[in-house]
Amino acid sequence: MSTKHQLYKFKVETIRSISHGVYILSFKHNFQFSAGQIIAVDLIPDGKPRLYSIASAEKEALMEILFDEKKDGKLTPFLSKLVPGDDIYVSEPFGTFKISAESGYCIAAGTGIAPFVSMARSGLGNNKVLIHGAKMDESFYFSDLLEEIMPGNLVRCCSQQEDTKYYKGRLTQWLINQNDLPSTQHYYLCGSAEMVVQVRDILINKGIPFQNIISETYF
Ligand SMILES: Cc1cc2nc3c(=O)[nH]c(=O)nc-3n(C[C@H](O)[C@H](O)[C@H](O)COP(=O)(O)OP(=O)(O)OC[C@H]3O[C@@H](n4cnc5c(N)ncnc54)[C@H](O)[C@@H]3O)c2cc1C
């Protein structure tokens, strides 16, 4: 997508694959941001940057993003080949998807977990329930870290692995099965447009007011 953000040059500090075709990339930064916000990223200063949620903590010196490689994509097949010391171009953090300190529910699909990793690492996860949907057990990125920070408040819904260790089914089914979702809390949604629309419908049908549903749509 095309954005008009000013991009600044940084050096890749680390890049590692954490699952098939899924990577974490980090660089040193001096930005201020709130958990939930995004950056625009590119390999050239004046191209068509893509947007990524920040996955690192608000006060951490290294900024991290989590991305999955789209085989025919314009950026991610090249992003995944970077090595430490290579240049990347990054905007200042921006976006209105900010996760407050109040208690609430966080609902993510796939790499949509990234803003909630930032939230947990920033000390905002203690009073949240985090529901993560993925196809396979290996796709519950940052699972160990989240389990450590949010013990008992992490629900993993695995839709395609028969012998999953977690809830077997889509996160939408898990939500449909809940009869006690509080209507006074905030619900943060992050994932594909399809996921966000489906989850929003389920929550509204369960009596959650529209204004309590805050979403970030990846496209
Ligand atoms: C607010 C926001 C936050 C995001 N955060 C993240 C994040 O944290 N992590 C993450 O992994 N992603 C995130 N994304 C998605 C990310 O911005 C990129 O879209 C994604 O990484 C793919 O980029 P790409 O350039 O590699 O692929 P693209 O070039 O954008 O292509 C994506 C797919 O579309 C297909 N495609 C491209 N052009 C066409 C066409 N003309 N017709 C048909 N199909 C086409 C390609 O084959 C490919 O499969 C976010 C998106 C938004 C909007």
User: Going by CATH, does the domain composed of 104-218 fall within 3.40.50.80?
Assistant: yes
Identify which of 15, 20, 25, 52 to mutate to test ligand 1's pocket (most ligand atoms within 8 A of the CB): 52
Q: What is the pLDDT of residue 4?
A: 80
Atom from ligand 1 closest to the CA of residue 79: 26
With 0-12 / 13-18 / 19 or more C-beta atoms within 10 angstroms meaning exposed / middle / buried, residue 43 is middle
Identify which of 23, 65, 67 to mutate to test ligand 1's pocket (most ligand atoms within 8 A of the CB): 67
| Pocket residues: Cβ below 6 A from ligand 1 | 38, 50-53, 65-68, 70, 72-76, 111, 114, 216, 218-219
Q: What is the pLDDT of residue 172?
A: 98
Cα of 162 from ligand 1 centre, angstroms:
29
**What contacts 87, CB < 8 A, 6 or more positions away?**
9, 10, 11, 12, 43
Cα of 80 from ligand 1 centre, angstroms:
14
- The pTM for the full model equals 0.96
Going residue by residue through the chain (219 aa), what tens digit of pLDDT does each one get? 555 889 999 999 999 999 999 999 999 999 999 999 999 999 999 999 999 999 999 999 999 999 999 999 999 999 999 999 999 999 999 999 999 999 999 999 999 999 999 999 999 999 999 999 999 999 999 999 999 999 999 999 999 999 999 999 999 999 999 999 999 999 999 999 999 999 999 999 999 999 999 999 999
With 0-12 / 13-18 / 19 or more C-beta atoms within 10 angstroms meaning exposed / middle / buried, residue 117 is buried
Q: What is the DSSP string of 201-219?
A: HHHHHTT--GGGEEEEEE-
Q: What is the pLDDT of residue 3?
A: 52
- φ, ψ of residue 93 to 5 degrees: the values are -65, 145
78, 70 Cβ separation under 8 angstroms: no
Identify which of 53, 65, 70 to mutate to test ligand 1's pocket (most ligand atoms within 8 A of the CB): 70
Cα of 70 from ligand 1 centre, angstroms:
7
Cα of 69 from ligand 1 centre, angstroms:
9
Given the DSSP bridges, would you call strands 128-134 and 154-158 parallel, antiparallel or unpaired? parallel
Q: What is the pLDDT of residue 189?
A: 98
Cα of 193 from ligand 1 centre, angstroms:
12
Atom from ligand 1 closest to the CA of residue 55: 8
| Shortest-distance Cα residue to atom 28 of ligand 1 | 73
Question: Helix, strand, coil shares of the chain as percentages rounded to 5?
Answer: 20, 35, 45
Query: Domain extents for the chain?
Result: 8-90, 104-218
Say which DSSP state 91 is in: P
**Domain 8-90 adopts which CATH fold?**
Elongation Factor Tu (Ef-tu); domain 3 (2.40.30)
